[in-house]
Structure 1
């Protein structure tokens, strides 16, 4: 399993984590923004009118309303990325990462407009009478590139498990256990039954459920976020100043945060932005293809609202909660994760300028790095390390007040072997003060508002709703990909496997699944971006035709 995981990580280093990927993603969005004349601005007001049903026509083909299609797509994107993803981006890249999430979302509004329009245009009606669409259909029916469509569809199925299924329930189960003491298997079992009840009903039930969950979870989260932001009102200005001032230079060191280069902040912001709103990935067009309309452009306009709501509104609220509360640069007691822990040679103090600079270069892999990973031993007496020839780094910060525990609560005494920065003894728990990240950081931030310590419970409850709705939406994406590959007969076996994987992942290690999803996301995104670039002229002509028909129709209504 480790070999497979390492191979996938190597593959990802040439795909999603490669230097070129953010530039391709943003480049396509920028190209269409200029090519179509900033549709995310010009069509924004019109999009709100479309989603309310103002221009609906009777008898139009489709399974869901514009609002239900938007809700289903939003439920697929508004998830752990909005809660833990923003926190991870800020943890890695500092406030500047949020700026690049905004840029990704702004350009992504156009990318999503294009991919949804083209996918809706080439959708088909399946054997059971429902609609099926997505990039695989325009790749096949318009570009005659069935091989590319197959790659996209297979990647979609893998991503349905690696993005929308297993990591979501794993995060829910962890959060429920940590916050309320609920056994992971119990959480997984109950939610797996609920998931089965929803997805077996198909798109009609999925749309009905998500159209109710999305507004409720959005309102709950916004109230909780505002309770922190308004409580720390005096920090709103400095937070925005840090976001913009660091955007082109990288984030400076502050508190326990040791700083991040521009390249690091840029890469983390763009990658987290894609994970958050999925613009360019080609997933949301599958949901929007179900909308009742004979005008593909109208549904494309609805999708413009998606990155705006998901990233520019919800992710910004999360970012301001984290930055204004100040917890992102503070050290907190936590149980150290082995994947975030490393030991380096020499003793370093993050309150000393020279040491901070050395650690900055080490963590950001610059050419000026002079720090080496430690190989040797750590002597521990009554739970505390006693030698000083090394420094423990956890979560990209210098660990303090470190304690080594065995058997759950007994202080460890003895000698620990360290090789290449890694402590070899596995059956030992390490506790100390360090930076925290992901959903744990967001939980801490939510406790710094008017609700006090009770505010942190907003995060697990929101995570439950966000992540569960994401699992619902991605089940639909996966089963549409299955329909494309093998037809309707493959849908029920897929749904059974999907629910089973959902349950197992509530208590199993999903590291390999996450790694698979890194690769699968890019195998969806790159073919989709290639496809919409090849259809750029058709996209422009389709938009012109839409407005010509729309203007003629409005003029006729005025004369009648």
Structure 2
């Protein structure tokens, strides 16, 4: 087991190192320029995300698809992951994380567009799509589509299921003394009540849960920033200057170079918002939308909310808290997060616990849909119920066991998902530009496909 753990740890470190950063960030920048900075349409996209398009074909509303994607994307990484980036790369990592989110909007836009462009309707009226369909129908590379589906299925049991259940069970045990097996049974019960209902049940719950949990967390963070008010502007200045100045950050932080800050900030941003991973377009394909560009714009708001807003606010909270309380140490992300939030009386620790619990549970819901669609692509609809049952059982397993090696295997599977998806985005960029010109640049967003 030690050998296996070491192997996947080294493989994960290599894959999510410089090669993956270059591939993902390079794709973000390329698509941003190629599509004439679609980020400038973010407010139009936000408006569309809450606009119902009932006459269009699809299984769930555009907002339902977005909420489900956000449920899978907004996870513990938005809290602990940002703190880890700050701990390892200094406060400048927050700015690099934020910039990654800004450029990642173009990639998430492109994924959503291809999801609608190449989706297909089943005999019973359901919509199926995602990178596997773009690879098969757009490029004719079914073998690569199959690999993507396999990696997605495996990743869903890891980063989307067992590790999230383990995070909830660990939190319940450390904070409230609840035995992990009890937490596991409770999580299984709540998850089963939602997951067995299929995509419409998942989307309906996510439409309620995601806005509530995100709004509650953001308002709580704003309260903390109010308490830390004298240190907020110094924290923002420190974040900006540390991102470009190769000198010690000071203020209780570890010193580091620009390269180190960029490495950890970019890596956390890429991993957090999943732009380029190929997960979000799987549920985007089910959206009720009249043309590919409308859903592409809606999908792009997922990266905006996840990284440009939530990760940025979390980063400023952590940096301002360290400046306000010099006794806070930065040895590891989990400790830094807990201590930073714990310094705020009354609301700090409950806010952190609420965020970790709801973010982890929502990730379980969102990733079940991804894995289910990937399994259906591989084996057909008859395996959907089997997959759901195994997924729910895995929640309990994840709650009661040590998942160190699972984390590393999941990281590798996520990387292996990203590679075929990025290939489809680059090879089909001409289609993306064509559709964007047809509906967005010619101001025809209300036109039907």
Q: Same fold (TM over 0.5)?
A: yes
SS of structure 2 residue aligned to 1:293: coil
Aligned 1:362-511 pairs, distance under 5 A: 435-449=330-344, 452-511=345-404
* Aligned counterpart in structure 2 of residue 129 of structure 1, from 125, 128, 148: 125
Match of 1:27 in 2: 26
Whole-Å separation in 2 of the counterparts to 1:204 and 1:490: 18
Match of 1:346 in 2: none
Note if contact 1:176-1:184 (Cα within 8 Å) is conserved in structure 2: yes
* Aligned counterpart in structure 1 of residue 44 of structure 2, from 46, 57, 67: 46
Asked if 1:535 is matched to 2:428, the reply is yes
Between 1:184-193 and 1:256-265, the stretch displaced more is: 256-265
**RCO higher in 1 or 2 (8 Å CA, sep ≥ 6)?**
2
Paired residues in the alignment total 448
1:543 deviates by 0.9
Deviations 1:418-476 (A, max 9, x none): xxxxxxxxxxxxxxxx6453344223222333xx0542111112211111011000000
Gaps of 5+ in 1: 333-433, 555-560
Match of 1:295 in 2: 291
Aligned 1:156-175 pairs, distance under 5 A: 156-175=152-171
Note if contact 1:15-1:21 (Cα within 8 Å) is conserved in structure 2: yes
Asked if 1:192 is matched to 2:188, the reply is yes
Aligned 1:63-74 pairs, distance under 5 A: 63-74=59-70
* Aligned counterpart in structure 1 of residue 71 of structure 2, from 62, 75, 84: 75
Whole-Å separation in 1 of the counterparts to 2:247 and 2:180: 37
Note if contact 1:118-1:138 (Cα within 8 Å) is conserved in structure 2: yes
Change (3 A) 1:483 1:241: same
SS of structure 2 residue aligned to 1:294: coil
Measured on the aligned residues, the alpha-carbon RMSD in Å equals 2.1
Whole-Å separation in 1 of the counterparts to 2:254 and 2:37: 38
Whole-Å separation in 2 of the counterparts to 1:80 and 1:105: 17
TM norm structure 1: 0.77
Between 1:273-282 and 1:263-272, the stretch displaced more is: 263-272
Between 1:285-294 and 1:321-330, the stretch displaced more is: 321-330
1:294 deviates by 3.2
Whole-Å separation in 2 of the counterparts to 1:435 and 1:443: 11
Match of 1:258 in 2: 254
Whole-Å separation in 1 of the counterparts to 2:413 and 2:83: 23
Asked if 1:3 is matched to 2:3, the reply is yes
Note if contact 1:156-1:478 (Cα within 8 Å) is conserved in structure 2: yes
* Aligned counterpart in structure 2 of residue 85 of structure 1, from 68, 81, 90: 81
SS of structure 1 residue aligned to 2:12: helix
Note if contact 2:169-2:399 (Cα within 8 Å) is conserved in structure 1: yes
Whole-Å separation in 1 of the counterparts to 2:332 and 2:14: 26
1:331 deviates by 5.4
Which structure has greater strand proportion? 1
Asked if 1:12 is matched to 2:12, the reply is yes
* Aligned counterpart in structure 2 of residue 324 of structure 1, from 308, 320, 337: 320
TM norm structure 2: 0.95
1:125 deviates by 2.3
SS of structure 2 residue aligned to 1:138: helix
SS of structure 1 residue aligned to 2:15: coil
Aligned 1:510-549 pairs, distance under 5 A: 510-547=403-440
- Work out which of the two has the higher radius of gyration on C-alpha atoms and give 1 or 2: 1
* Aligned counterpart in structure 1 of residue 109 of structure 2, from 106, 113, 119: 113
Whole-Å separation in 1 of the counterparts to 2:15 and 2:195: 32
SS of structure 2 residue aligned to 1:53: coil
Whole-Å separation in 2 of the counterparts to 1:87 and 1:328: 16
Change (3 A) 1:492 1:465: same
Note if contact 1:255-1:329 (Cα within 8 Å) is conserved in structure 2: no
Asked if 1:282 is matched to 2:272, the reply is no
Which structure has greater helix proportion? 2
Deviations 1:179-234 (A, max 9, x none): 22222211111011111111110000000000000111012111211121111111
Deviations 1:328-362 (A, max 9, x none): 98556xxxxxxxxxxxxxxxxxxxxxxxxxxxxxx
Between 1:202-211 and 1:440-449, the stretch displaced more is: 440-449
Match of 1:376 in 2: none
* Aligned counterpart in structure 1 of residue 243 of structure 2, from 240, 244, 247: 247
* Aligned counterpart in structure 2 of residue 155 of structure 1, from 141, 151, 167: 151
1:45 deviates by 2.4
Between 1:542-551 and 1:197-206, the stretch displaced more is: 542-551
